[in-house]
Amino acid sequence: MASLITADPAILGGKPIIRGTRISVDFILELYAAGVSREEILADYPHLTPEALSACLTYAAHAMKNEIYLDLKAA
């Protein structure tokens, strides 16, 4: 997960994002919550991978348990 999810204070105010994108974990979670399927997300954002979507869900699960430790890049 750590290789796919990152945070940088210079990108989206330091929100956790999918590495190499400006797509935040919370945006992906909002899509799922709105009923958008994994296949639809991948079709709408072809630069994303199934592994990146899984990493978002894993990140969220660990965050809910307070088990997340991300090193922020210095701006």
Q: Residue 64 has what pLDDT?
A: 85
Report the predicted TM-score, pTM, of the whole model to 2 decimal places: 0.83
Q: Which domains are delineated in the chain?
A: 5-64 (1.10.10.10)
C-alpha 15: how far from chain center: 9
Higher pLDDT, 71 or 10: 10
pLDDT of 2 above 90: no
pLDDT in tens, 36-75: 999 999 999 999 999 999 999 999 998 888 766 666 665 4
In 1-75, where do the E strands start and end?
5-6, 17-18
Q: Residue 6 has what pLDDT?
A: 94
